[in-house]
Chains A and B, each alone.
Chain A
């Protein structure tokens, strides 16, 4: 009797315990984003003029060797963005070194965890492929840290080592940003009141004004970037599931422990017929 009860309780526990693991092991790369049909075909030349792209879009641009090409993309909390860039070099060229740099909404350079951020192409090589995986974007961090925060990210692609003879030669470039959803393990407490989007204060002032003065809407903003489904509010994470299941299991284990002490039927020390 006791054995079956304990067994069924432990089976139940096992079943419940598998659930968060299943919920956990589903990394969802965000490549289902919009079709590439409307992907941007040019790049900006400064932070101010950076071309906005979506994650999962393959943006292309033609430029010249020596240009500083800028794009910007949104990244939200819990994401770990990976930036990839391909540069198709002209048929004849000397040795060139290309590099991608990623900056956050405050124009602070962000480090790459993996990926070859800088690559040197030997003379005559047809293309260079660069990649950079950022750290996971956190919902909040202290003001003194430069952890990646939700908001605009800038991507700069340029030739850092180039001979004078190669300056100005036409190149075509392709960039793409995908991100891995890291999930609850990266869920931190706190949240930003506004995402780290440059010019957001100016934009919200303009929005307030626009109720009075519709023409103000026309003014350009530094960055109008937003993920397709908006910025996450940041309260949900799979920590809720883990904690709730933990609570339930604790309750079950409590019942189990209680049942063990009760034994089956009457307590043994009670004399029969008492």
Chain B
């Protein structure tokens, strides 16, 4: 959850509206072009012939989907731009080639007109094929440019009937093209094969897969996904690391994304001034079937190739991501205006592709960079060098007692000496 300072934004919006004398939409007042960071959601609904099957709460799958859509359209938050795309809605024939092109935009991704969208949904009736791959490709093109979160919600009851185009690979490719695109999938009364395909699509983009057997489950889940899209999140900046430090891009504090192929290494550079601390973390996502043992290594290296510090992580089993991080506090310098040091960051991963898995595009890589003030150096293990515990008390008492005795004897001896003289 990311908190927003709504009040400040509201005041800003009010001021902007007053000075300009125009009523802005809030997004515009936030200093961004319309559609800039507005969350966009595209609902992709399967309207293939199999949606006629009556096995969800006694009604047909289509009826359940329509009812769910009506409720979702009512509950969609104002700031979300919502669109609807269908697949298999128009071509009832048997020609595979035509059937596999059958996807259409029912309602464009835009500020929602509820009545219009609902009317459009009401006209749907189960018809044709299930071209999931082509529909996803088209859906990716439905979004307006902008850096807000983009979410495709795919609702289907049958696996793709348009091989050889693997919808999983399609999903990976469209997520590699755009930044911040997620595909969530919902399977209506799914078979094992459908579960497998839909979870593959979801994992390819960091989305979720849910199997649905009741109308209210469908409504809840789609609402949840639309709400999730409305949550403001930091959009990463795309960057491209190189294979040596000397040509690497220089990064400032922020969140970055890149792609890294299997066995590839990526280099980045960060400038750190004396007295500052570099904090960086990297996560490499497994967006396809990978072998069960994997790891990631992040090294901070000087320009001369000496390793300063490293972060490493390894794991095995099912995972979405493997991550590690490091800190590098650069000591204060005695000189005034000492130059910033260039730290090279090297990222390598030890993922290996499962059999028959395409190795391009590379695995999604996320990099956070923070350059902050350095920590105060510890001069002792204990806080301020203070002591604690019964041993400390014992030693202090003993030392005090011995000191007292000595002092007493010394003063007695002195008195005695003084008296005898």
- Residues of A at the B interface (CB closer than 8 Å) are 13, 17, 40, 42, 44-52, 62-64, 66-68, 103-109, 139-140, 143-144, 146, 158-162, 164-165, 167-170, 184-185, 187-194, 196, 198-202, 204-205, 210, 213-222, 224, 234-235, 237-240, 242-243, 245-247, 249-262, 267, 269-270, 274
Contacts and interface: CB of A to CB of B under 8 A. Distances in A.
Given A109-B313, A189-B378, A242-B386, 5 more contacts: A170-B210, A201-B253, A258-B408, A262-B408, A267-B416
A224 B1 CA distance: 9
B404 A143 contact: no
A26 B1 CA distance: 34
A190 B376 contact: yes
Given A258-B405, A262-B408, A68 B320 contact: yes
Contact of B199 (A167, A245, A247): A167
B255 interface: yes
A259 B408 contact: yes
Contacts of A188: 378, 381-383
Contacts of B382: 187-189, 239
Contacts of B33: none
Interface in B311-369: 311, 313, 315, 317-321, 323-329, 366, 368-369
B409 A222 contact: no
Given A62-B220, A246-B387, A190 B283 contact: no
Interface residues of B, number: 107
A152 to B, nearest CB: 11
Contacts of B5: 217-218
21 contacts: A45-B208, A45-B228, A48-B366, A64-B210, A108-B323, A109-B315, A164-B196, A167-B209, A168-B211, A189-B383, A190-B378, A193-B372, A214-B12, A215-B12, A218-B9, A243-B386, A252-B397, A254-B403, A257-B403, A259-B404, A261-B404
B320 A107 contact: no
Q: Which one of A107, A205, A274 has the greatest number of beta carbons of chain B within 10 Å?
A: A107
A17 B313 contact: no
Contacts of B372: 193-194, 200-201, 204
B241 interface: no
Interface in B78-120: none
Contacts of B388: 184-185, 187, 238-239, 242-243
Contacts of B383: 139, 184, 187-189, 234-235, 237, 239
B314 to A, nearest CB: 10
B377 A190 contact: yes
Contacts of A254: 400-401, 403-404, 407
Given A159-B318, A200-B370, A253-B401, A64 B8 contact: no
Contact of B1 (A52, A103, A249, A262): A52
Nearest to A63: B208
Interface stretch (B152-160, B163-171, B187-195): B187-195
Interface string B19-47: 00000000001110000000000000000
A237 B386 contact: yes
Contacts of A169: 211
Interface string B276-314: 010111110000000000000000000000000101010
Nearest to A52: B1
Given A47-B366, A192-B375, A167 B195 contact: yes
B58 interface: no
Given A107-B325, A164-B192, A246 B393 contact: yes
Contacts of B416: 267, 269-270
Contacts of A261: 404-405, 407-409, 411-412
Contact of A239 (B208, B387, B397): B387
Contact of A190 (B234, B370, B375, B404): B375
B281 A221 contact: no
B7 to A, nearest CB: 9
Nearest to A194: B372
B318 A158 contact: yes
A68 to B, nearest CB: 4
Closest 6 CB pairs of A and B: A257-B404, A261-B408, A106-B325, A190-B378, A250-B400, A168-B211
Contacts of A191: 375-376
Listed residue (B209, B220, B281, B282) with the most chain A CB atoms within 10 angstroms of its CB = B281
A205 to B, nearest CB: 7
